[in-house]
Amino acid sequence: MVKRIEELMEKLPPDLQQEVYDFAQFLLERKIQPKQKRLRMDWAGGLSEFRDKFTSLELQKKALEWWGD
């Protein structure tokens, strides 16, 4: 397989060889080092309208009810 890839690469112009290399590097990085998912914070403040109606514990319980957990 490596030999076939090398033969194909030799037929490509240098700019396309670089693209093939970059794509192979991307595939390796994605497979070997999956990116860690970051915690999204877009929910922050989403319950602020209920601040005066409920305590934080009550809000937590209500949120679980609303989410169906």
- Check residues 40 and 1 and name the one with the higher pLDDT: 1
- The C-alpha atoms of residue 31 and residue 22 are separated, in whole angstroms, by 14
Are the C-beta atoms of residues 54 and 62 closer than 8 Å to each other? yes
The pLDDT of residue 63 = 80
Q: What's the pLDDT tens digit per position in 2-46?
A: 889 899 999 999 999 999 999 999 888 887 766 666 777 777 777
**pLDDT at residue 54 tops 70:** yes
